Structure 1
Amino acid sequence: MNAVVVAVGVMLILSLCRVHVVVALIAGALCGGLLGGLGIESTLAAFNKGLGGGATVALSYALLGAFAVAIGKSGLAHALADKALMMVGNRTAHTGQSVKWIVIALLLVVAISSQNILPIHIAFIPLLVPPLLSVMSSLRIDRRLIACVLAFGLITPYMFLPVGFGNIFLNEILLANVAKGGVDVSGVKVTEAMLIPALGMVAGLIIAFFSYRKPRDYDLSRIDAVERVNATYSPVTLLVAAIAIGAAFIVQLWLDSMIIGALAGFVIFSASGVVRWREADDLFTEGMKMMAMIGFIMIAAAGFAEVMRETGQVKSLVDASAAWIGDSKAVAALLMLLVGLLVTMGIGSSFSTVPIIAAIFVPLGVELGFSPLAIVSLVGTAGALGDGGSPASDSTLGPTAGLNVDGQHNHIWDTVVPTFLHYNLPLLAFGWVAAMIL
């Protein structure tokens, strides 16, 4: 049995059994390392080595959490929420539906924009989502739908639009690795190659609107306890908040550092007096606690991924799938996609999956007679598969971080499982169709 398959299987089964994701990742890494012949000491050494790879991201999210709490203190996000609550309070059945769709559309547009127009990825979620929980709960919106909306906005743009993160994924990683495998991609339009798979994501989003259309009730008192929905604010605090957010985004884009960007925003809040100096330490701690789970999962996921690489059986898995294919293009396309799904589910990163699978699957695709357009589509879809639905992916961790601040949204059953069902299954089907007809 391949060590990667066992490791990912153990991690997923334990996660579905409500074992904490960090524990599931550690257990999966140990099982994979031992089965891969590393031994307990080498497995632990590889895991420890990989932990450093997730530290930067974890610290970024911790500082972002502190920045989010400072924004909450200023009242900016709550001013938006109060306006929406006022509309909800005065609603008729018609206006209530209007507010619901306005909230959903706002989150979808911001999520999509976070990948290209203002490439901050999941940084907006702890700033925008928690203050809107009261509005969503008053409208009885199922948070599983919001998780699917956010995941769609975080994944689809980078796998289809060659701008921002999409430029990195499509041009610098996907096309570069396909070309490295010996395929001439000079005439390939990457958006054409990824159009059908992207339509699979659209289909999944539409299905999610149907799946989670029924109202779902949440305890408003638990939201009030953590979100301070009655927070006070003034034009001055709102102006300072706007300046701090603008400064944080500019610094992040300028220095390419979420850590320094969030820190700059927090310093502006402290210097302006919106966050009093004696309160700064408590607010910083509160924000870090809010993002602690996502940080520890990202660190553990980096260790898990390093163990999988050290076993050398990721390549063995890809090689074995190539041996099973034979001469069937239909079987080849399906197996390539399934291997991509498995690898990304374990590593948690589409960007890291493409170089791993492209080395074998690109020459194999050429040998089986796939067109360059089909090969790009196959490898790109295989890389994107598993981003939604992976317990260790920031595309699932981000939505959970915003939706679970009151403890009423389970990471596995309310984010991971819904996004897996609504995106990976359609993406498998649409990706296979793309490979067969392009």
Structure 2
Amino acid sequence: MNSVVIAVCLMLGLSLARVNVVVALTLSALVAGLMGGMTLDATIGAFNDGLGGGAQIALSYALLGAFAVALSHSGLTTLISRTVISRLGRDANAKELAWMRRLLLLALGAMAISSQNLLPIHIAFIPILVPPLLHLMSKLRLDRRLVACVLTFGLVTTYMVLPLGFGGIFLNDILLANLNTNGLNAVREQVPGAMIIPALGMVLGLALAVLVSYRKPRDYQEQQILAAEPEIATELNRRSIITALLAIAATLAVQLKTDSMIFGALVGFMIFSFSGALKHVGDQDLFSQGVRMMASIGFIMIAAAGFAAVVKQTGEVATLVSSLGELIGDNKPLAAFLMLLVGLLITMGIGSSFSTIPIIATIYVPLALSFGFSVPATIALVGTAAALGDAGSPASDSTLGPTAGLNADGQHDHMRDSVIPTFIHYNIPLLIFGWIAAMVL
């Protein structure tokens, strides 16, 4: 059997068995290399070379974690929670709670969408915005699995159809460029339209999550939330609130200017440090808390980069697609389904739809043209094959980001509360709608 398939299945199986995702990725990378014909030294070398690719995002998470902890001690987050909860009132009825739940979900979804285009900060807002809202979510008895689905929907669906910000990078700079490099002759205007049908699968998945799967209330331990996000019992300090607002504005401005989450979070944290607003808490303690909160996420991203490097080095993706070509014969519907399925496997393993396209486009474009798929259908096939697995991969920032915010108090399991819910609600509909797009376009 193909080494890539075995390695991805092994990684998912180990992760589901509660083996640490970093360990699962590392072992699976070793298996991929050895079964792909590489020597042990070559496999370790490729893995080590790839680790640097995840270092930037890991450091970004660490600094964002420190900034998020600083915000929680400033009193701004307490002010937000108090304001909303006081407006609800202690005797809020079920209708009022349901209305507030919908409003909160709508706000988080809008922020996730905006983070891809209007304010292209990607997942940087999640570890800053979400942990302080855990008190409110607990009051509303909101299922965090639903919040994870809402956030992932905004992060993934947006770049699939809107050619702005990260969507412009995905649709034009990566997808269109790689398609044309391999002989498709597509034009820019065709790409968003070809991805609309697959995106409707994401919409269906979100509707199922909201209306069916996670509509029932879910309770969380308030003491654990208070331990991670302490509410200030005394009068809120106006100076601290103003400092927090300035720090947020500066963080956003620096990130937009430098395109770096690292320096944006660093500036925000330094504003807190030099302002004296947090003199009651040591800077070192805050930084350590933030790094500890985000450490596991960062290490997963580093290990995922090493895994991706080994998979690319084996060359087994091309072998996998070639073997599928022999299996398919002249069956066009089967060809579309298997191409999408292989894309799901690859993206689940390496955790990035943006990195999947260069791997599969060189093989998929000639294969799609040989089966007579139209230009829009080929765009939909390759684009959907790459997007498949971004939601639902243990190593994807589209699941790691929500976990980073929702698990601030240790009550949100990455695999069972982020990965599995988003995999079920998005990958299955996306696979179906991507296949439909390939057949009708």
TM class by shorter-chain length? Answer: over 0.9
The one of 417, 423, 429 equivalent to 2:432 is: 429
Show the counterpart of 2:227. 225
Q: State yes or no: 1:308 paired with 2:276.
A: no
Cα-to-partner distance string for 1:143-178 (whole Å, 9 max, x where unaligned): 111110111011000111101000000010111111
The alpha carbon displacement at 1:66 in A equals: 0.8
Q: Deviations over 1:243-302 (max 9, x none)?
A: 111111111111111111111111111121113397111111111111101100001111
CA distance in 1, matches of 2:71, 2:259: 22
Q: Please state if 1:30 is matched with 2:30.
A: yes
Q: Identify the residue that residue 171 of structure 2 maps to in structure 1.
A: 170
Tell me the distance in 1 between the aligned counterparts of 2:78 and 2:345. 40
Q: Which amino acid letter does the alignment assign opposite residue 44 of structure 1?
A: I
Confirm or deny: 8 A CA contact 1:88 1:138 kept in the other structure: no
* 1:354–1:379 CA contact under 8 A, matched in 2: yes
1:294 aligns with 2:294: no
Q: What is the alpha-carbon distance in structure 2 between the residues aligned to residue 263 and residue 16 of structure 1? A: 35
Q: How does 1:2-401 map to 2 (within 5 A)?
A: 2-90=2-90, 91-186=92-187, 188-209=189-210, 210-230=212-232, 233-276=236-279, 279-401=282-404
1:58–1:294 Cα contact (<8 Å) kept? yes
Distance change >3 Å, CA 92–CA 255, structure 1 → 2? same
Assess if the C-alpha contact under 8 Å between 1:178 and 1:185 holds in 2. yes
Per-residue deviation, 1:425: 0.1
SS in 1 for 2:282: helix
Structure 2 residue matching 1:19: 3-state secondary structure: coil
In 1, Cα distance between the equivalents of 2:350 and 2:325?
21
What secondary structure is seen at the aligned counterpart in 1 of 2:63? helix
| Change beyond 3 A, Cα 1:272–1:36 | same
SS in 2 for 1:291: helix
- Amino acid of the structure 1 residue aligned with 2:158: P
State how far apart, in whole Å, the 1-side matches of 2:19 and 2:88 are: 38
Answer whether contact 2:254 2:263 (CA < 8 A) is retained: yes
Aligned length: 438
Mapped partners of 1:256, 1:222: distance in 2 = 35
RMSD: 1.4
Q: Could you say what secondary structure the match of 1:380 adopts?
A: helix
Q: Deviations over 1:389-431 (max 9, x none)?
A: 1000010011111111111111111110110000000000000
Mapped contact 1:156–1:198 kept (Cα < 8 A): yes
Q: TM-score, normalised by structure 2?
A: 0.97
Q: Structure 2 CA distance, aligned partners of 1:321 and 1:171?
A: 28
* One-letter amino acid of the structure 2 residue matched with residue 233 of structure 1: L
Unaligned runs of 5+ in 1: none
Tell me if structure 2 keeps the 8 A contact 1:77–1:127.
Answer: no
CA contact (8 A) 1:322 1:361 kept: no
* TM-superposition CA deviations, 1:364-386 (whole Å, max 9, x none): 11121111111111110000000
The one-letter code of the counterpart of 2:105 is: I
SS in 2 for 1:229: coil
Distance 2:413 2:403 in 1: 7
Letter in 1 for 2:222: L
- Partners of 1:326 and 1:76 in 2: CA distance: 62
Shift of 1:322: 2.8
Paired residues of 2:172 and 2:188 also in contact (CA < 8 A): no
Flag structure 2 segments of 5+ consecutive residues without an equivalent. Answer: none
**CA-to-partner distance for each residue in 1:216-256, whole Å, 9 max, x for gaps?**
11111111111102366333222221111111111111111
Matched, 1:419 2:422: yes
Distance 1:223 1:413 in 2: 19
Give the deviation of 1:318 after TM superposition: 2.4
Judge which range, 155-164 or 183-192, deviates more.
183-192
- Contact map agreement 1:270 1:277 (CA 8 A) in 2: no
| C-alpha distance 311-79 of structure 1, shift in aligned 2 (>3 A) | same
Letter in 2 for 1:397: L
Provide the secondary structure at the position in 1 that maps to 2:184: coil
Deviation, structure 1 residue 181: 1.4
Shift in alpha-carbon separation, 1:89–1:293, aligned structure 2, 3 A: farther
Q: Residue 122 of structure 1: SS of its match in structure 2?
A: helix
Partner AA of 1:128 in structure 2: L
Q: For each residue in 1:300-359, what CA deviation from the matched residue of structure 2 results, as whole angstroms up to 9, or x when unmatched?
A: 111111111121112222222233222222111101100110000000000000111111
Hey, what's the Cα distance between the residues in 1 that align with 2:317 and 2:383?
18
Q: Which ranges of 4 or more aligned residues in structure 1 deviate by more than 6 Å? A: none
Aligned residues of 2:75 and 2:232 also touching (Cα < 8 A): no
